[in-house]
Amino acid sequence: MNTKAKTFQELIDGDQPILVDFHATWCGPCKMMQPILEDTAKQLGGKVKIVKVDVDKNQLTASKFQVRGVPTLILFQKGKILWRESGVVQAHQLVNVLKSKIVESA
């Protein structure tokens, strides 16, 4: 198994769906998303990988994907955006959306 760290681009270009949480440490709603993302990860197991990107430390990446507000969630697979949402998303809604998008793209 390759243990070399992957670049962001390599992650989103891969076969595994990647949910990217664009967030900021000072953002209250972003802090509300943390337990929701943890719950979502537990419910979906290994079907989707969740990656957090701090927009203040990764301004070029945030700009590339036109992230204007935080939190912004973007689901990638094979380099394509499958779904995007800004603001707090409830766990049941997030799980349902991810399940439908992952099935559609399989």
| Residue 45 DSSP symbol | G
Nearest to 34 by CA among 88, 102, 101, 81: 88
CA dist 39 to 32, 46, 94, Å? 12, 13, 10
Q: Which of 24, 30, 48, 97 is catalytic?
A: 30
Show the beta-strand stretches assigned E in 24-97: 49-54, 72-77, 80-86
Q: Which of 8, 16, 27, 47 is catalytic?
A: 27
**Is 30 part of the annotated catalytic residue set?**
yes
Contact 15, 78 (CB under 8 A): yes
Catalytic residues: 27, 30
